[in-house]
Amino acid sequence: MTAPPPGLQAERTVLAWGRTLPAVCLCLAAVVRSAIVHPHLAHVVAVAGACGAAAAVGAGAVTRHRRYRRRADDPRPLGLLIPAVVSLAVFATAGAALAAPA
């Protein structure tokens, strides 16, 4: 069995970040719409969390894309800061959205 070319995993990672960004932006749009229709403090927190998640996913996508363009077989991971910010922002968004009255 032959090993796959070294750049394929990095390319799949870049594509995954590219697919995640529109999904997070759609979630942000849904949370903003909910905040406009039902104004509540929890919705403001949810919008802030979704904005943080979108910004962090955008930063991750740009970082991975730039690294892939420079050298496709670069094995270095992304680091812990961007995934940590994405996780915290998603938890803040989910918690605030669940706490808000419907």
SS3 assignment for 56-90: HHHHHHHHHHHHHHHCCCCCCCCCCHHHHHHHHHH
Per residue in 88-102, pLDDT tens?
888 888 888 888 776
Per residue in 9-67, pLDDT tens?
777 888 888 899 999 999 899 989 988 998 888 888 889 999 999 999 999 889 888 88
Give the integer Cα–Cα distance in Å for 50 and 93.
6
Domain that includes residue 28, residue range: 8-99
User: Per the domain annotation, does 3 fall within a domain?
Assistant: no
User: Per the domain annotation, does 1 fall within a domain?
Assistant: no
User: Per the domain annotation, does 54 fall within a domain?
Assistant: yes
User: Per the domain annotation, does 2 fall within a domain?
Assistant: no
Q: How many domains does the chain have?
A: 1
**Per-residue confidence band for 5, with pLDDT thresholds at 50, 70 and 90:** low
Identity of the residue numbered 13: T
User: Per the domain annotation, does 59 fall within a domain?
Assistant: yes
